[in-house]
Amino acid sequence: MRYALVTGGSRGIGRAICCKLAEMGYYVLINHNSSPAEALITLSLVKENGSDGELLKFDVAKQNEVEVALGEWQGRNEGKTIQILINNAGIRKDALVMWMKNEEWKDVMETNLNGFFFTTRFLIKDMLISKFGRIINIVSLSGIKGLPGQANYSAAKAGVIGATKALAQEVAKKNVTVNAVAPGFIKSDMTKDLDESQLKSMIPMNRFGKPEEVAEIVGFLASEKSSYITGAVININGGLYT
């Protein structure tokens, strides 16, 4: 059995990724922090897609929670390795910088950037020992071009992009790849407060993307077929920004 962890896997893009990995035959560890009911729905969909999985509750922004939850899983599953890590958990707290509160900056940085670091650092050693791993970071158009009102989110995602490129070079010789996927406007909980009818006019394809379209790219990067791709940032934004 091959094992994959998807942080923020209970809804939206995370749920679609869980389903895609299940379709590929992975046992899926579905991380959630505050949505147990939604996570259970994701687990049922994983089973419908021909595989199995379990829920792992922890806040990626809190180092102790990450290490306790993953350490306990390893203790229950001696000899098993999480080969695929999808760093998907993220939050937005939009505001113009002049009005942004300290906690709005801090919370977004801790979840989006520190969360990537704490989870990746804990799992990377086993990938290196087994000489196989796929780390896929879900970043954002905001981290590539910057978006007004999202200085905190743009900074966090840009940080993950930089870390992706650096880490890819550190671990490439051990057959561990590290890539990032940068969605634009995708229909999900993260974008439900945005005015789709207005924003889609900016997109050459004239629509928001679907979570499943992001999941297809993630599935490819998680597969053996992507073995020579590392340090890449792949845009999926309908042509909005290239």
Contact (Cβ atoms closer than 8 angstroms) between residue 23 and residue 49: yes
User: If pLDDT is split at 50, 70 and 90, which confidence band does 236 have?
Assistant: very high
Q: Which pLDDT belongs to residue 93?
A: 96
Residue 183 amino acid letter: P
Integer CA distances (angstroms), 212 to 104, 116, 128, 166, 188, in order: 29, 22, 30, 28, 11
Can you tell me the mean pLDDT for 23-43? 97
Quote the domain boundaries for residue 195. 2-236
Q: Which of 9-23, 141-155, 196-210 has the lowest mean pLDDT?
A: 196-210
User: What are the counts of helices (DSSP H) followed by strands (DSSP E) for the chain?
Assistant: 9, 7
Cβ pair 15, 217 in contact under 8 A: no
Instruction: Answer whether residue 117 is part of any domain.
Output: yes
Per-residue pLDDT at 199 exceeds 90: no
Domain containing residue 135: CATH number: 3.40.50.720
Task: Look at strands 133-138 and 53-57 and give their pairing.
Answer: unpaired
Residue 197: pLDDT band with limits 50, 70, 90: confident
Domain count, the chain: 1
Asked whether residue 242 is domain-assigned, the answer is: no
Q: Do 212 and 160 meet the contact criterion of CB atoms below 8 Å apart?
A: no
Give Cβ neighbours of residue 233 (< 8 Å, ≥ 6 apart). 139, 144, 161, 164, 165, 179, 180, 181, 182
Which structure tokens are listed for 27?
A: 């046992």
224 within some domain: yes
Helix axes 115-130, 63-76, angle to 10 degrees: 30
Residue 59 lies in a domain: yes
**Band of residue 149 on the pLDDT scale cut at 50, 70, 90:** very high
- Our answer to whether residue 153 is catalytic in this structure is yes
33 assigned to some structural domain:
yes
What average pLDDT score do residues 162-190 get? 95
Q: 238 or 192, which is more confident? A: 238
Tokens of 242: 């290239």
Cα–Cα nearest to 176, from 112, 89, 85, 113: 85
- In a domain, residue 179? The reply is yes
Q: The tokens 């992001």 sit on which residue?
A: 214
Q: What global pTM score does this model have?
A: 0.95
pLDDT band at 42 (very low <50, low <70, confident <90, very high): very high
pLDDT level of residue 76 (50, 70, 90 thresholds):
very high
* 241 assigned to some structural domain: no
> How far is the C-alpha of 17 from the C-alpha of 221, rounded, in Å?
12
Locate 187 and state its tokens. 């229909």
Average confidence (pLDDT) over 223-232: 97
Q: How far apart are CA 32 and CA 36, in angstroms?
A: 7
Which of these is catalytic: 3, 153, 228, 241?
153
CB 218 within 8 A of CB 28: no
Output the six-digit token pair for 241.
Answer: 């920004």
Q: Residue 41 and residue 70: Cα distance in Å, rounded?
A: 22
